[in-house]
Structure 1
Amino acid sequence: MTMEKFEVEAIAHVVGGRIEPTDDYWGGTHSIIRINGAYYDVDATAGLAEFSHLEIVFRFHLTDPTDLNLGARRPRDNPDWPPVGIFGHRNMRRINWLGVSRCRLITVDGLDLHVEELDAVDGTPVLDIKPWFSEFGPRGEVRQAAWTTEMLHNYFADPEQA
Structure 2
Amino acid sequence: MRITPIGTVQGGRAEPLDDGWDAVEAEIALDPAVLGPDAARGLDAFSHVVVVFGFHRLDPEAVERNARHPRGRQDWPRVGILAQRGAPRPNRLGVTTCALLGVDGLVLRLRGLDAVAGSPVFDVKPHMTGFDPRGAVREPDWAREIMAGYW
User: Is 2:4 the partner of 1:9?
Assistant: yes
Aligned pairs for 1:120-135 (under 5 A) are: 120-135=115-130
Shift of 1:36: 0.3
Q: CA RMSD in A?
A: 0.9
Equivalent of residue 88 in structure 2, options 87, 93, 101: 93
TM normalised by structure 1 equals 0.90
Q: Give me the whole-angstrom Cα distance separating, in 2, the residues matched to 1:99 and 1:134.
A: 20
After superposition, the C-alpha distances for 1:43-97 in whole angstroms (9 at most, x for unaligned) are 1111100000000111110101111221111111111111101110111212211
Instruction: Identify the residue that residue 119 of structure 1 maps to in structure 2.
Output: 114
Instruction: Identify the residue that residue 58 of structure 1 maps to in structure 2.
Output: 53
Shift of 1:42: 2.8
Equivalent of residue 80 in structure 1, options 72, 75, 80: 75
Shift of 1:40: 2.2
Shift of 1:28: 1.2
Moved over 4 A (4+): none
The secondary structure found in structure 2 opposite 1:149 is: helix
After superposition, the C-alpha distances for 1:2-25 in whole angstroms (9 at most, x for unaligned) are xxxx21110000000000101111
Q: Which runs of 5+ in 1 are unaligned?
A: 1-5, 157-162
The secondary structure found in structure 2 opposite 1:66 is: helix
TM normalised by structure 2 equals 0.97
User: Is 2:94 the partner of 1:103?
Assistant: no
Q: How many residues align?
A: 151
Instruction: Identify the residue that residue 137 of structure 1 maps to in structure 2.
Output: 132
Identity within the alignment, %: 44
Amino acid at match of 2:127: W
Instruction: Identify the residue that residue 42 of structure 1 maps to in structure 2.
Output: 37
After superposition, the C-alpha distances for 1:117-149 in whole angstroms (9 at most, x for unaligned) are 000010000000100000000100011011011
Q: Which runs of 5+ in 2 are unaligned?
A: none
Q: Give me the whole-angstrom Cα distance separating, in 1, the residues matched to 2:80 and 2:65.
A: 7
The secondary structure found in structure 2 opposite 1:151 is: helix
Q: Give me the whole-angstrom Cα distance separating, in 1, the residues matched to 2:68 and 2:35.
A: 41
Amino acid at match of 1:113: L
The secondary structure found in structure 1 opposite 2:21 is: coil
Amino acid at match of 2:67: A
